[in-house]
Amino acid sequence: MESSEDPFFWRVSQSESLKEYQPGGYHPVHLGDIIYPTSGVKTSRYRILAKLGYGGFATVWLAEDLVRKNQCVALKVNIARLTGRNNEVKILKTCSSLPHDQLGSAHVIRLLDAFEIEGPNGIHEVIVTEVVCGWYPTVVEASGDVDTRKICREVSLGVSWLHGNGIIHGGTYIHGNNIGFRVPRLSEISPDLALKNLEEVIGAQTCIAVVPKDRTYDSTHLPKYLVEENSGAVWLHGRLADIRPDDYCPVIFDFGGAFRQADIMPQPYVPLVFTPPELLFEAGTLSFASDIWALGCTLSQLLFRSTLFGRISNHTQLVGAFAKTFGPFPSAWVDASILVKAGIDNETIANNPPSLDIVSTEWAVTQTTLPWDEASRESPELAKLMKGMLQYLPQDRANIHQVLLSPWLRVQLQDSKSITRLKSNSAFLENSASIITT
């Protein structure tokens, strides 16, 4: 039902907020628009074909590369207030400059182009990448056909490639919304065929006119219409239907909060359920260990199709979920104001076994089959892996090398150069524990 306070006549449920079309906010993008750099040599030109998605800081579009003919790409247009304050282009350029024959590099998105455009709401960064399809509908609808462990293994390999090259994914965290699947043979599809195929799959793209109720409303900052999010995403999902689920190639993307280990950490944009304890209790900085916490939460999400802590709306609820899942807090944290506010004390927690221990015991005794995983005998190994990644203190967590060598993931590190690179990085000197490999 339409809110009486809404300044517009019509609303779109699956689209970005119109209120963010203001100076510093979104850039108005329309189907058929030609996007190119505002200044400098205009060697880049892209025609907008369909909408792939949106977030709080960008809209993402399927586009035709007009310079490199017959190539479809993804165009991410950031909000203007991020320009000059966002590490994403810098990190993606760093990734692009690294050898791509290293173990795990195939599971990090590829940057194709980056430039700036100017519009009614300011100057915006445009990031052009290969096209990836969101993981969630793909995995859920494929259900039993998906080798979930393979996906978990390959996402972990992507993290290992980042950490081995000194890159912390950081503030946006590694989670389900930052993992997609590379769409095979997309380069073989002409934009004309893509549009024809898109029309066959979804019909006309749903566009809702943007009409302010107030005649004096300044419309110069607004798009003429909004495009529903799912049009391009549904089409991409259809493209994946032609390949075997075993061939799905997961890709980590969204590097807006990423940074090099040697650099100053940018302001993190932290999804609540992926917030590591050190940010709540120690005002600590993000680190390789923070990525491991987020990866542990992500593997749980990939396996069970839900977040580890359920529905959480604030930090007080989050620490309550920590206590229920992992048990008593470290002694240095027991007097923390957030625990006092939540009415949580270690004595009470100690009287209730943490749910992760209960689950681990049940798996060990009953060998319960995990969803989409036929190897039920290895469930205790998964529980051991999760416990190693989800330790309260960063220094107690497994590092990515130990994660890869865990019995459940069973990564065969046969690339000697990759092993040397991983072990030489300080990420693997932070922690000598063998919690998950023995």
Tens-place pLDDT, residues 219-259: 999 999 998 876 666 666 666 666 676 777 899 998 988 99
Q: Pinpoint the alpha helices (H) of 305-378.
A: 315-326, 337-342, 346-350, 355-366
- Region 166-178: mean pLDDT is 75
Residues 6+ apart with CB under 8 A from 191: 47, 49, 64, 70, 72
- Region 67-84: mean pLDDT is 90
- The residue with greater pLDDT, 378 or 161, is 161
Of 61-75, 149-163, 322-336, 409-423, minimum mean pLDDT range:
409-423
Residues 6+ apart with CB under 8 A from 124: 27, 77, 78, 79, 80, 83, 116, 117, 118
Question: If you ran DSSP here, which 8-state letter would residue 244 be given?
Answer: -
| pLDDT tens per residue across span 316-351 | 999 998 988 888 999 999 888 888 888 888 877 777
Q: What is the pLDDT of residue 161?
A: 96
Please name every residue paired with 132 in a beta bridge, in sequence order, or none if there are none.
Answer: 182
- Region 172-186: mean pLDDT is 71
| Radius of gyration, alpha carbons of the chain | 23
Q: What is the pLDDT of residue 423?
A: 54
Binding-site sequence positions: 76
- Region 31-48: mean pLDDT is 86
In the predicted structure, residue 37 carries a pLDDT above the cut 70? yes
CA distances from residue 82 to 23, 57, 251, 288, 311 in whole angstroms, order as listed: 12, 8, 24, 24, 29
Q: What is the pLDDT of residue 319?
A: 92
Percent of the chain scored above 90 by pLDDT? 35
Q: What is the pLDDT of residue 324?
A: 86
Binding-site sequence positions for ATP: 76
Question: If you ran DSSP here, which 8-state letter would residue 291 be given?
Answer: H
- Angle formed at CA 33 by CA 69 and CA 85, multiple of 5 degrees: 95
Q: What is the pLDDT of residue 374?
A: 41
| pLDDT tens per residue across span 92-140 | 999 999 988 888 999 999 999 999 999 999 999 999 999 888 776 555 5
Where do the DSSP E strands lie in 164-217?
167-168, 179-182, 207-209
Which tokens belong to 289? 């260990």
Structural contact between residues 291 and 399, judged by C-beta atoms closer than 8 angstroms: no
Percent of the chain scored above 70 by pLDDT? 74
Tokens 């100076």, located at residue:
23
Of 30-44, 293-307, 361-375, 400-414, minimum mean pLDDT range:
361-375
CA–CA separation, 52 vs 190, rounded Å? 17
Task: Give the DSSP per-residue string, 158-174.
Answer: HHHHHHHTTEE-GGG-S
* All domains of the chain in start order, with CATH: 18-148+177-252 (3.30.200.20), 270-428 (1.10.510.10)
Give kind and range of the element (H or E) at residue 75.
strand 71-78
Structural contact between residues 114 and 93, judged by C-beta atoms closer than 8 angstroms: yes
Residue 127 C-alpha from the chain's centroid: 16
